[in-house]
Structure 1
Amino acid sequence: MDSIIELRHLKTLLALEETGSVSLAAKRVFLTQSALSHQIRALETYYDAPLFERKSSPLRFTPAGTRLLQLAHDLLPQVATAERDLAQILEGEAGELRLAVECHTCFDWLMPAMGEFRPLWPQVELDIVSGFHVDPVGLLLQHRADVAIVSEAEPQPGITYFPLFSYEMVGICAQDHPLAAKSVWAAEDFTDETLITYPVPDDMLDLLKKVLLPRGINPPRRHSELTIAIIQLVASRRGIAALPYWTVMPYLEKGYVISRPITSEGLRSKLYAAVRSEDAGKTYIDNFCQIVRDRSFADLQGLSVLEMKS
């Protein structure tokens, strides 16, 4: 019997389950909300049954939707495995994937992704280029690294970028700090505060680059290499900081510090995977980037889909 079900339908159902929202699911699978709704309506019309309850938040699947969701969980991993096996047959199993990062908090999501990647590509030599790098793309061009995790996709000959995700940056301070009384921090709130940051150039810090320096605000600094040290300094009122929400969430739950949005629009940062253009077609590199995206959206809070600008 012919079936209306396509892989794209199953991917949509998984996105609905993971996000709990039609609008967020549409972004996850790179569709407009209207196009995603059209997919769902086509399935519901074919089976003459709703797939989820429209007014629930997060949405709840009906028995019909749950059965199709089970199919998605069963079938999509098999398709991914088959495609990976074919790539290993056609392209070879061996390779090298050396990672360079410019982000001090990348390891929160990078290590789980590497752990998932290794058993899938056992013949690919996976390693991290030691240390944090101001110019990781330069390491690609020098063939000292194969993938660079960067915050900007600056056009450069011989370099191709894969979007990973966008994430929320929040301001943090001690529980008894005066700024704890404010629901949102404006650029001016940083004027007389000591800003605790990683020891990197200003143009690598989105708070300074996007919010403070354009307003002529350049607060005194204190530096630390370690995230936990920044948290401790903030908790003891040695200064304030801006960190990814996923990084500070465990410390918020324990009451060590409090977080606030930065500006009424919020401050969002981006992450891309940069590779040499000659390597952009290698399946294991594409698979690594996909694993990073999937694991990050599953494990981290405050992420949103990042698309490349044409």
Structure 2
Amino acid sequence: MDWDKLRIFHSVAEAGSFTHAGEQLNLSQSAVSRQISALEDSLKVPLFHRHARGLILTEQGELLYRTAHDVFGKLSMVEAQLAESKDRPKGPLKITTTVAFGTIWLAPRLSEFMDLYPEIEVELILSDKELDLGMREADVAVRLQPPRQAELIQRHLLTAQIHVYGSPQYLKKYGTPQSAEDLDDHRLLAYGSATKPPLPDLDWILHEGRDSKNPRKPALKINNLYGMMKALEGNAGLGALPDFMHQGETAGLVQVLPDLEGPQFDAYFVYAEEMRSSNRISVFRDFLLRKVAESKF
């Protein structure tokens, strides 16, 4: 199979049109179309359904795309490894983690890492959805649950707890609960069920001190921990947050019922097996472990 044609096919499949792929490849639309037609002729199968609104992969095209995507992802990984200096880590480093952990804990510490390793090009991707490290959607991840993919390398980073928090203004107005049963008399925030939460059993506050068949009804549901934290700062009520959020810009929140502990969770540093020898990943892992040791969870 011709690698140049395969590279053009991969770009077309991702762009969805000859024109957009041509712009990315710096080729004319007609040149891209000819290369795809030549590839289809050599394989003796159609790869795209062509229609007025763009291109759709055929069943054979889907099979070739998945394989090509995997191959080019691995080639990109090898290219990054070959280009990296053994003496001085350099090159791109895509880091992904949840919105809350990345915003509150990780982002404020990246300046120090950038000062230590100015030749590493850091990109932080915040998403509560897990990106596919095997397909190079990111190089490394900090996950707040054990990774599900067996082929990923994981290093335990920290163990943390979840507690109940509220703003001083809210507590002044509505009082401070003295027991789990007192939560019945307060406005409670919950993550809800619209999307999968980044931590297990995040809405335990609705069940604590109650019959499990009769949970409390939340006053407000927000499917994002950072959004929940901002609502708590705005005096919306009481809510459960992981302890890593009770620092920095969240210092204004007050922990209530300190003896009432929510689910414990672990965070992991995760990366693909192919990146094991990367100096960029090694130094970032060591940096994270050092910053975790300095933090209080």
TM-score normalised per structure 2: 0.55
Q: Deviations over 1:271-304 (max 9, x none)?
A: 1121111113323212212212222332x33x2x
Corresponding residue SS for 2:246 = helix
Taking a change above 3 Å as real, the CA distance of residues 249 and 154 of structure 1, as seen in their structure-2 partners, is closer
Aligned to 2:222: 223
Does 173-182 or 205-214 show the bigger shift? 205-214
**Structure 1: 5+ residue stretches without partners:** 1-87, 304-310
Aligned to 1:151: 144
> Could you tell me how far apart the structure 1 residues matched to 2:224 and 2:262 are?
25
Aligned to 1:201: 195
Aligned to 2:40: none
> Could you tell me how far apart the structure 1 residues matched to 2:224 and 2:233 are?
17
Question: Of the candidates 84, 104, 108, which is equivalent to residue 104 of structure 2?
Answer: 108
Does 117-126 or 210-219 show the bigger shift? 210-219
Corresponding residue SS for 1:109 = helix
Contact 1:93 1:121 in 2 (8 A): yes
Q: Deviations over 1:165-204 (max 9, x none)?
A: 122322113213657131x547x94697442449973442
Taking a change above 3 Å as real, the CA distance of residues 203 and 263 of structure 1, as seen in their structure-2 partners, is farther
The structure having more radius of gyration, on CA atoms, is: 2
Corresponding residue SS for 1:180 = coil
> Could you tell me how far apart the structure 2 residues matched to 1:222 and 1:111 are?
26
Contact 2:145 2:199 in 1 (8 A): no
Number of aligned residue pairs: give it: 206
Aligned to 2:127: 132
Contact 2:140 2:269 in 1 (8 A): yes
The answer on 1:259 being equivalent to 2:258 is: no
Aligned to 1:241: 239
Q: Deviations over 1:90-140 (max 9, x none)?
A: 4763332101112423233312432222233333221113x423123x2x1
> Could you tell me how far apart the structure 1 residues matched to 2:157 and 2:123 are?
19
Report % sequence identity.
Answer: 16
Q: Deviations over 1:238-273 (max 9, x none)?
A: 33211233433467865xx43124764554332112
Question: Of the candidates 121, 125, 144, which is equivalent to residue 117 of structure 2?
Answer: 121
Contact 1:252 1:258 in 2 (8 A): no
Does 89-98 or 197-206 show the bigger shift? 197-206
Question: Of the candidates 275, 278, 292, which is equivalent to residue 279 of structure 1?
Answer: 275
Aligned to 1:168: 161
> Could you tell me how far apart the structure 2 residues matched to 1:280 and 1:164 are?
17
> Could you tell me how far apart the structure 2 residues matched to 1:192 and 1:104 are?
24
Measure how far apart 1:206 and its partner are. 3.5
Cα RMSD, aligned residues only: 3.7
Aligned to 2:289: 293
**Structure 2: 5+ residue stretches without partners:** 1-83
Tell me the amino acid that sits aligned with residue 243 of structure 1. Answer: L
Question: Of the candidates 122, 135, 140, which is equivalent to residue 142 of structure 1?
Answer: 135
Q: Deviations over 1:219-249 (max 9, x none)?
A: 434227584x645533555332112334334
Aligned to 1:55: none
Aligned to 2:42: none
> Could you tell me how far apart the structure 2 residues matched to 1:207 and 1:193 are?
19
Corresponding residue SS for 1:141 = coil
Taking a change above 3 Å as real, the CA distance of residues 226 and 102 of structure 1, as seen in their structure-2 partners, is closer
> Could you tell me how far apart the structure 1 residues matched to 2:147 and 2:240 are?
24
Corresponding residue SS for 1:149 = strand
Contact 1:185 1:263 in 2 (8 A): no
